[in-house]
Structure 1
Amino acid sequence: MTNQSITPVSVASERPIDLRDANALKNRLPSASSGLMARADTYCPKVNDLPARLVAAEHVGSFLVDVPRATARQRRALLTFAVEDRIAAPIQSVQVVQGPLDSADPGRLLAFVLSQEVMAEIASADAPYLPEFLMIPRPDPEGGPAWSVWREGDRAVVRASDGIGFALRAAMLPSLWARAGHPKLYALAGTLGDALPAEDLSAAPPPPDPRDIAFSFARPAAAGTEGFAAWRWAAAAAGAALLIHLGLTAFDTAALKRIAQQERIAAEAAIAGVLPGVPLTGDVGPILARLTPTPSDAGRGPFLPLLNEVAGTLAQNSATVGFRRLSWGRRDNTLVVLMQSPGLEDLQRIEQDLESAGFAVRSGAATAGNGGAEVEMRITGGAGG
């Protein structure tokens, strides 16, 4: 009969794991690639004379999500809900941050997920922090899915054409590439081996995207004007489109000159037939008043006069401001404007100028983030109302 009783064993099957430090597992996570850190020193703007720092891709989850159109505050909540079912961690233990994503469909956003512990370290730093894969430009998605790969040793950092990024062991790259449907490959550093048909760009890797390098998880206060560098990249193109969309080009100097020239031509033609021999001076107001019938105010609404007064007041303010949304209430003749500027100080100065001009202004809660600030203002009345 075989003895099946339990007997003590004085030796372990494997070597013990040292758990003396609560950060032991965290310390074993890889750091950012040295080559990508060198690119950060070259391309990223300094803040407070400190270079940008990179967060290893293993610390940052990136997801492409679809959310409905919403305000900035609502969008943060929608991002959190969108990734809650896609991460293997309680949602209370992480923070979700919107990442930069150009040329995306409306409602499609890039979400970054970090642990609360890592985010706390970043928030207390004086230098900007961003994921290391943002140092790799997105490959062109026009020809289909593509990956740009930065390899150093046995570790590879990948940036996909849809904007997400991740890191993995180089030995796992062929199998993951096959499971992803064989996207087109670009090798930006190191060789990928004969098993992967990659286009070699390592001799002259393309620079990172300006909007990507302007991103930071934390926005430290900058000395001088460098703190606005990130905002300028994002607002340079959007500002002109917003102004055109809201009709602010009506106040453009060139347009006003064209209108004045047309009025002068009309006055000269009228004088030639009705008041022959009367010279046309620079002041055409009295002559036009005699020749032009007085327009009737019947049917004229209060919207355009109010918009004209508000725009004239804003034109005298030196602060940089953009309109993201504009609506009008006919019942109380109120403009509801969602304004955006580089900082809260500009919005406060605009509100004070409007009130000084005779407007009644009610402001909602101001929000700040991603290098800018925005607030909804309800503007009633006016200097001429």
Structure 2
Amino acid sequence: MALARDTSITAEAWENASARARSSNGGSGPAGVWTLDGDALTAADEDGPATVLVPTEAVRLVAVDLPVAGRAKRLAALPFAIEDMIAEPIESVHLALGAEIAPKRFLVGVVRHDRMAEWIARLEDARLDHAALVPDALALPRPGEGEWAVELGTTRALVRAGDGTGFAVPAPMLRTAWEAAGRPRAIAYGAPLPEDMAAGTGAIAAEPLARRVLNPALDLRQGLYARRRSAVPGFGRRLAMIAGLGLLAHTGIAAADTLMLQRIADRRADDLKTLVATMAPGANLAGEDLAGTIADMLPPAGAGAGGADPFLPVAARISTALAPLGGTVPVKAMTLADGIFTMAIDSTDPALAARINAALREGGVEAKVATAADGIRITAEAA
């Protein structure tokens, strides 16, 4: 099965697309590629179908396994497949399904509804409500497996990873993210990278930006935010969108509150059982009083060599520092051996590793973050 990598665009296809854009967009709005950054909407390439590049900082790009056939079934399964990967309530975010980046594995964009509504309103004001919305990291070529394509600017860096995902970080954080990802081979498409990071320079300057985003791996204009060919004025569409969002919020929250709370409670209980089973493989967790069973397992105050058990304090310090990241940190195991505490994270996402590293520094916790083939590992001295 051929993977859906970035589709190469032939000269003929490009010329036809450009001609269609010039001839057909006159009645609906401008064509070409634009960038949206804060309040600034700037033309970047006057050719090609209307496309607006939005800041990848506001869009989480993840790879999700969806082993079901048909787009409709994948869309139905998507919220359940991704809810453990994000910190926000599932009803507060827009999920956009992108290209198949490996067999049964798809690129997915996650962005808050309020941010999407803000972007659509800006596009309508600029007569660009017919445009595709594409995270700007996806304008970079997809590199080979295990590699990074990097566009380093003065204040921020865009990264496209070999698995088809991408992310954006402040420029000073690029090295931290790169080291946390295991120092992948990095190809520079912007300013030169530091000598020890650079593995080569990519040549995209001669390829028009519009050509690179002609067939993007992900367009956020889906579902509630899909482009509609109608005669309804922009104000009417915006009013309908606001009404739809309000209805979605009220009915969704009212119907989902009880179910969501129960689901969260069940998930926390399952996570706690998994953690206890890891730390105490022989523990009997079959009873109804889970809290009482675990409380009985905790060591008494002052137990252990040299006083109190060092496991709980270091685990509490690290967990507190990571609390702002919420459910984006899927912990699979915590161990203490020879005075070294290790927390294993079930993810190889370099952007997550960078966020974990930043959260630990912000929380004043001295710990090391490393990415291995089986996930992210946090290590700290249990002092």
TM-score class, shorter: 0.3 to 0.5
Which of structures 1 and 2 has the bigger CA Rg?
A: 1
TM-score (norm 1): 0.42
Which structure would you say has the larger RCO, counting Cα contacts within 8 Å and 6 or more residues apart? Answer: 2
